[in-house]
Structure formats: C-alpha cells, structure tokens
Amino acid sequence: MHLRFIAVLIVLLLAAVACAEEGGGGEGAAECPPDDEFGCVTVAEGEPIRLATLLVISTADAPLGQDSQNGVTLAVNDHGEVLGHEVELMHEDEQCSAEGGTTGARRIAAEEGIVAVIGTSCSSAGEPASQILSEQGIVLMSPSNTAPSLTDPETRQDFYFRTAHNDNIQGAAMAQFAAEELGVERAATIHDGSPYAEQLQQVFAETFQSEYGGEITTQEAVGPEDTDFRPVLTSIAAGDPEFIYYPIFIAAGGHITAQARETSGLEEADLAGADGMFSPDFIEAAGPQNAEGMYLSGPDLDFRGDFYRDEFLPAYEEEFGSQPTAAFHAHAYDATQMILTAIEEAALQGDDGSLVIPRTALRDALEGMQHDGIVGQLECDENGDCNQEATISVSQVQDGDFSRVWP
C-alpha cells in the first residue's frame, strides 16, 4: 500500500519533470548554461529586470547614500528598457555599519530574482555585504566604498566591483598635498574604527612618512558616536602636530572640528578630512565658523564633461528638487549604466521574449569592461577596481562653501 503510493508518486514526478523539460526546450526560453556555478535569473516576458540598491538612507549619514540612490534612479531612467524589459529597483538600507550591511545583504539574497546590487555606501557595510552576496553569485558594485581591503587580491570577494577610487590613491594624494603644498612636517591622524577611516589614515601615514619624510606624531582612534573629543585632542596636542587628518564621518567629524579650535596647542593646526565628510551637512554640523579653512579631499568633480553639467545636474535637480548632497551620485550613475550594459552583453534571449541571465557570465562581462562614464574612463581590473585613473582633488572651506584649491 505504502510502497505502491510512493511508486505512483515517483512516476508522476518523472512525468512532470519530463513535461517541464520538453516545454522549456520547445517553447523558446533560452537555457541556462549548466556550467554556471550560481545558476541564472530568468525574467519572463513582460516582467521587469530587478536590481537592488544597498545604500545608507537612514541615520546621520543618509545624505551620502540618498545622493547615490538618486544617481542610480537617474541612470535607470536614462538607460530605458534593457532588451525589451523594464528595470525595477528595490531599495535597502545599510546604515553605514557592518550590522546594517549584513541585514540588508541577507534580505536582498533572500529576494527572488535580484540580478545585481548597487552598493554599499560605507566600506564597513561593504565588507560583510560583498561576502554574503558573492556567496550567492550576486554582483555588488559600489559607488563610494573606498577602503583598499575591498579590492585587495587577498580579501576581495569574487562578485565585488566599485566605481569609486581606491583609498590607496586618496590617502597618498592627501599626504602629497600636506607635504608639498602646505609644507607640513608633523601630522597626526584620528580614525573611528571603521575600515574606511582606519585604512585611509594608514595609507596617509605610511605615504607621509616614507615618501615625504614627515613625522606622524599620534595615530588616535575614537568612537563614531562619541561627543567629547577634548581629551583625545589634548593628547594629540602633546605631540605638537601642524596638521590633523581625520577621514571619518559627519557627526564625529563635526565635533572634532569644533573642539579642535578650542584645544590649547591646536589653534594653529591645519585640519583635514576626506570624502566621508565632503557635504554641506558637515559644514552645518561643525558650524560654519569652525569649518572655515578646513581641507577636504574627494573625487575630482571637475574633469566631467558637458553631459554632467548640461544634462545630469539639471535632471537631478528636476527629479529630486535639490542639489547633490554628496560626491558620489555620478559614480552611482556610472555603476548602474555599467551593470545594465553588462546585462545586455551576458543575457540570453529566448524566442518567447524571456531573458535568462547567467550570474557568472554577468560578472565576467563586468570584468575588463570599458565604459566612458561621467567620472572618466572606467575599466574594471581583475580585483574589481573600475576607476583606476581616478584623480583626487582637495577643497577648502571658504565662506561656508567648498572651493577647490588643489591640484
């Protein structure tokens, strides 16, 4: 009785499988290459291609992620349909933390049919997110992660790419600016324990010492949610630095900027930060009088062509009702365009209007892809760095606004 029931079940199952195979082969949907380790995403006719963003859209760092998310939306609008399919976006929040990155990446990995992800904003979220998504064979392309470890051959995850510069470039640029332009010989650094800040200040410190013969007086660390930085600034003042570099985020960076001006021994020191604070919100958080004269490094916004000035910015303002609030909207735009182009290259079209997108093939299409983007000529190397020619510029806060001073 029992055995007979199971036997009938097996026969029925076999029949069902046979039917399915027959239907798949005959009706014209493309076949997923069997050697693709991570399988394929199948998009039926009339269904949208689904992408996700994983950016920081809450907490105090929201201006950074919201700005990139706007860039993604513009790119999807501009690109239009991909092989006859619309593109649909799902937005997740990475909260600029490892926990947020983990939760967001898990949620995306659990979702059916996400082809690729644009994110993360913060390197701290990028580390776990790239691991979780790479295990599922989902491409993750970041507009603003800059920590060197993410594309270091030893630690890079297979499906991770970025259009942001590598901080090996940014840290060295700031060291050069400090030593050659400002004539600094003694510098101190502060980081907040995030991979971004820790690695960036380390690159700065190493370059500053080895290339320019400078002295690093202190390398301190703070918590991202601290408010009282006077003790740590006093300990830095003990080393008598001429230059303090703290490439951290808006909240803590604002406090340090305000409190450094009141710490005896640091009144004359030059203050400098990096792209994590390159936002009008930082000037507001620090107080315009305190931020005055401070140096901030970031991606060079000047080399972009006419498209950026004449089409991108007006479209941005029209769509979102404000000026860009951070430095990475264009990187997000380019990343999205590259992913959409890679989908067009890698997808297999069926006769019935359906699409089959093999995950590994999509990754391979991105690797080595050349793209003439807003931020410059992009080409992804085997470690996932797509913006190797990035140039870094330094701006100074003058009269409550950023003005470019170098190079």
Partner 1 sequence: MATSSATTESAEPPASPPPGDAGGPQLGLADRIPLRRIIRWGLAVALVLGIASGAYQTLAAGVFSPAQWRDLVVFGIAQGSIYALIALGYTLVYGILFMINFAHGEVFMAGGFTAFFAARAMDQAGFLNQQPVLAVLILLAIAMAVSTTVAVTLERVAYRPLRNAPRLIPLITAIGASLFLQYSFRGLYGEDIHSYPRIDALTGTWTIAGIPILRTQAIVIVAALALMVGLYFFISRTTMGRSMRAVAEDREIASLMGIDVNRVIVTTFAIGGMLAGAAGILYALVFRQVHFLMGFLPGIKAFTAAVIGGIGSIIGAAVGGLLLGLLEAVAPFLLLSGAGIPAPNQLKDVIAFSILVIVLIMRPGGLFGSREPEKL
Min separation Cβ 234 and partner 1, Å: 5
Q: Which of 106/230 has CB closer to partner 1?
A: 230
Residues numbered 194 to 223 that lie near partner 1 (CB under 8 A) are 219-223
Interaction between residue 286 and partner 1 (CB under 8 A)? yes
Question: C-beta of 290: minimal distance to partner 1 in Å?
Answer: 8
Single out the residue of 235, 270, 273 nearest to residue 253, CA to CA.
273
Q: Is 322 in the site for partner 1 (CB under 8 A)?
A: no
Task: Read off the tokens for 25.
Answer: 């082969």
* 228 near partner 1, rule: CB under 8 A: yes
Nearest distance from C-beta of residue 233 to partner 1, angstroms: 9
Say whether residue 289 binds partner 1 (CB under 8 A). Answer: yes
Q: Which of 78, 52, 200 is nearest to 138 (CA)?
A: 52
Report d(CA 332, CA 74) in Å as an integer: 9
Q: Residue 103: in which H helix or E strand, if any? A: helix 98-110
Pick the stretch among 118-126, 263-271, 345-353, 382-390 that binds partner 1 (CB under 8 A).
Answer: 263-271
256 phi, psi to nearest 5 deg: -60, -45
**What residues does 119 pair with on adjacent strands?**
54
| Residue 159 to residue 156: CA distance in whole angstroms | 9
In angstroms, the CA 347 to CA 151 distance is: 26
Pattern 299-318, binding to partner 1, x per CB under 8 A?
--------------------
x/- map, 366-405, partner 1, by CB under 8 A: ----------------------------------------
Binding mask 123-162 for partner 1 (x = CB under 8 A): ----------------------------------------
Residue pair 149/199 in contact by the 8 Å Cβ criterion: yes
Residue range at the interface with partner 1 (CB under 8 A); choices 90-98, 153-161, 285-293, 396-404? 285-293
Task: Report how far residue 188's alpha carbon sits from residue 236's, in angstroms, rounded to the nearest whole number.
Answer: 7
Q: Which of 349, 373, 379 is nearest to 49 (CA)?
A: 349
Indicate whether 227 belongs to the interface with partner 1 (CB under 8 A).
yes
Give the integer Cα–Cα distance in Å for 170 and 160: 20
Please, what's the b/e burial string for 224-251 (b: 16 or more CB within 10 A of its CB; e: otherwise)? beeeebeebbeebbeeebbbbbbbbbbb
- The span of 252-260, 312-320, 331-339, 361-369 binding partner 1 (CB under 8 A) equals 252-260
Minimal distance, residue 282 CB to partner 1, in Å? 9
Question: What's the chain's length in residues?
Answer: 407
Helix (H) or strand (E) holding 87, with range, is strand 87-93
Under the binding rule (CB under 8 A), the answer on residue 58 touching partner 1 is yes
Distance of closest approach, residue 374 Cβ to partner 1, in angstroms: 28
Contact residue for partner 1 among 64, 179, 251, 271 (CB under 8 A): 251
Cα separation, 283 vs 401, whole angstroms: 8
- Please identify, using beta-carbon distances, which residue of 227 and 370 lies nearer to partner 1: 227
**80, 264, 268, 321: residue in contact with partner 1 (rule CB under 8 A):** 264
* Number of shown-chain residues binding partner 1 (CB under 8 A): 37
Q: Is 287 an interacting residue with respect to partner 1 (CB under 8 A)?
A: yes
> Tokens 């009144």 — which residue?
267
Between residues 13 and 238, which has the closer beta carbon with respect to partner 1?
238
Give dist(CA 377, CA 395) in Å, integer: 23
Instruction: Work out whether strand 40-43 and strand 87-93 pair parallel, antiparallel, or are unpaired.
Output: unpaired
Given 91, 106, 107, 230, the residue binding partner 1 (CB under 8 A)? 230
Among 31, 180, 262, 319, binds partner 1 (CB under 8 A): 262
Instruction: Give me the least distance between CB of 291 and partner 1, in Å please.
Output: 9
In whole angstroms, how close is the CB of 222 to partner 1 at the nearest point? Answer: 6
In three-state secondary structure terms, 232 is: helix
258 binds partner 1 (CB under 8 A): yes
**Interface of this chain with partner 1, residues 60 to 79, rule: CB under 8 A:** 60, 62
What is the distance between the terminal CA atoms of the chain, rounded to a whole angstrom?
84
Give the closest residue to 124 by CA, choosing from 221, 197, 72, 65: 197
Residues binding partner 1 (CB under 8 A)? 58-60, 62, 193, 219-223, 225, 227-228, 230-232, 234-235, 237-238, 250-251, 254-255, 258-259, 262-265, 281, 284-287, 289-290
